Structure 1
Amino acid sequence: MLPADPSHTHANLRFLLVDDHPAVRQGLNLLLESNGYTPGVEAGTRSDAKECLEQAAFDLALLDLSLADGSGLDLLADLAEHGVRTLIYSMHEDPGTIDRALRCGANGYVTKREDPGVLLEGILGVLRGERFVSDRAGLSLDEAAGTSTADPLFLLSDQERAIFSAMARGESNMEVAEKLGISPRTVETYLTRMVNKLGLANVRTLRKFAINGRE
C-alpha cells in the first residue's frame, strides 16, 4: 500500500511508459524527472511492454491506446495481472473510448491536449489508489451521459472484437487461434474475459450471442 502522499517516495516508484512515439516517451520522462520521479522504462509496442512486465516490477504505467501492433486496451489485463496501475494518456477524446478504457480496467484517463500539470495530478491520484478522470475526459463522458449505445461490444478490446466476429461466423477456437496467430488456450482466456465484460453466463451463451445477436 502506498503512503497517502506518494511524493515522499518518488525515487522508489517505477514507471512503464508505453507510447509508439519516441518523442512523447522522451517528453514524459523529462516531466517525471523534473518533478522528482525516477525516469520510466520505455516501450513502443504491446510486445515490448509485455517483455518489460516479465523483466521488472512497476508501480504505474502511462499507456497510449494507439500502438503500432494494436490497441493499448489489450495490455490492461496484463498490467493488472502484474499489479501495475494504469493511467491512459491518449489523444482519443470520444466518450466511447474513454468509457471502454475505464471499464476494461484503466485506473485513470488524461487526454494529450491537457496541461502537463493535469497529467501529474493524475499520476498522484492513481498512485494513491484513486480513479482519476481529467476535466476534458470527464466533460466528454458527461456530454454523452444518458445516451445509450446500441453496441454493447464497445466494452471489448480490438482483439476481443476480432474473436467475437470469428465466433459470429461459426469458427472454432482452433480456427480462431490459427487465424490470429495465438494459442487455443489464449483464445479461451479471451473468451472468459469477454463473458465477464458483457455480463453473460458462460462461453456457450457468448457464442450464442455472437451468432444470433441475443442471449
Structure 2
Amino acid sequence: MLPADPSRTPGDLRFLLIDDHPAVRQGLNLLLESNGYTPGVEAGTCAEAKGCLERAAFDLALLDLSLADGSGLDLLADLAEHGIRTLVYSMHEDPGTIDRALRCGANGYVTKREEPGVLLEGIEGVLRGECFVSARAGLSLDEAACAPATDPLFLLSDQERAIFSAMARGVSNMEVAESLGISPRTVETYLTRMVNKLGLSNVRALRKFAINGPEQNPESRGSV
C-alpha cells in the first residue's frame, strides 16, 4: 500500500526500525520484505536512531518505546522534525502511555500482542497519512475514558503498579530493582513516567502519595 504520492512504489519507501531486540527487528524486516517493501535500517537505541536520522532520510519509523538508553517517546520530536511519520509498536498497553505517545506526535499505535496483519494494516494506514490506533490500543483508551475519576492509578501499567505498591511499603529503589529483575536506572525511569502520568510535581510527591493514599491531597503540579 502506498502513500498519497502515486509516483512511488513500495520498494521506494524507506523504513527506520527502532527496537532494542534484534529478533524483533529481523521479524519486522521479514514482514516488510514479504509485502513488497525494502528492508528497513535498524537501530537498537535512541543514540543509534539519531545517528541514522543524520545519515539518511526515511518515510516511516517503527518505534519501540522501551530502549536501552531511554524512552522511544523522546525520539518522536526528532522524527517529526525530519518529516518522518511514526508508528509505535510496543508491549505497553496502558492508556497513559498510548495517549502520551499520540500526544507527543506518534501517527499510530499497535501493541506487540496483536497479529502481524494488524501491524501491516497500521503501516499502510500511516503511510496513507492516517492516524492508526489498533483495536487493542483503542480498547485500552476507551476503558480509561470510562474509568471512575476516583481511581488515579488506572493509567499506570502493571509494572508501574508493582513499583507503586513497593513504594507504599517503604521499599527502596534498589530493593525494587532486585525484586523485579531490572536495573535501578530503569526503576528511576519508571518513577519519572509515574510522576508525569499522575500529574505530580516530583518523585518525593509520588512517594508521599504512595504511602498516604489519594485522600491525603498529594502534591500535584497545580498546587506547587
Under a length normalisation based on structure 2, what TM-score does the superposition of the two structures give? 0.66
Aligned partner of 1:179 in structure 2 is: none
In the alignment, structure 1 residue 137 sits paired with structure 2 residue 137? yes
> 1:17·1:63 contact (CA, 8 Å) conserved in 2?
yes
Aligned partner of 1:51 in structure 2 is: 51
Mapped partners of 2:19, 2:46: distance in 1: 9
> 1:16·1:60 contact (CA, 8 Å) conserved in 2?
yes
> 1:20·1:44 contact (CA, 8 Å) conserved in 2?
yes
Q: CA deviation at 1:119?
A: 0.4
Aligned partner of 2:42 in structure 1 is: 42
Aligned partner of 1:110 in structure 2 is: 110
Aligned partner of 2:4 in structure 1 is: 3
**Which letter does structure 2 place at the counterpart of 1:62?**
L
Helix, strand or coil at the partner of 2:37:
coil
Gaps of 5+ in 1: 170-209
Over 3 Å counting, the alpha-carbon distance change for 1:212 and 1:107 in structure 2 is closer
Over 3 Å counting, the alpha-carbon distance change for 1:212 and 1:2 in structure 2 is closer
1:58-77 deviations in whole A, cap 9, x for unaligned? 00000000000011000000
How many aligned residue pairs are there? 166
Aligned partner of 1:214 in structure 2 is: 223
Root-mean-square deviation over aligned CA pairs: 2.9
1:90-130 deviations in whole A, cap 9, x for unaligned? 01111111111111110000011111000000001001111
Aligned partner of 1:78 in structure 2 is: 78
Map 1:125-204 to 2 at 5 A.
125-147=125-147, 148=149, 161=192
Gaps of 5+ in 2: 157-188, 203-218
Under a length normalisation based on structure 1, what TM-score does the superposition of the two structures give? 0.69
Over 3 Å counting, the alpha-carbon distance change for 1:57 and 1:212 in structure 2 is closer
Aligned partner of 2:214 in structure 1 is: none
Over 3 Å counting, the alpha-carbon distance change for 1:98 and 1:9 in structure 2 is same
Larger radius of gyration: 2
Helix, strand or coil at the partner of 2:53:
helix
Over 3 Å counting, the alpha-carbon distance change for 1:211 and 1:91 in structure 2 is closer
Aligned partner of 1:188 in structure 2 is: none
1:147-182 deviations in whole A, cap 9, x for unaligned? 35859xx9xxx69x59x99xx68xxxxxxxxxxxxx
Over 3 Å counting, the alpha-carbon distance change for 1:122 and 1:35 in structure 2 is same
> 1:5·1:128 contact (CA, 8 Å) conserved in 2?
no
> 2:4·2:129 contact (CA, 8 Å) conserved in 1?
no
Q: CA deviation at 1:3?
A: 2.1
> 2:17·2:63 contact (CA, 8 Å) conserved in 1?
yes
Mapped partners of 1:5, 1:90: distance in 2: 30
Identity over the aligned pairs, expressed in percent?
A: 75
1:22-52 deviations in whole A, cap 9, x for unaligned? 0000000011001000000000000000000
Q: CA deviation at 1:144?
A: 1.1
Mapped partners of 1:60, 1:38: distance in 2: 12
Helix, strand or coil at the partner of 2:9:
helix
> 1:60·1:86 contact (CA, 8 Å) conserved in 2?
yes
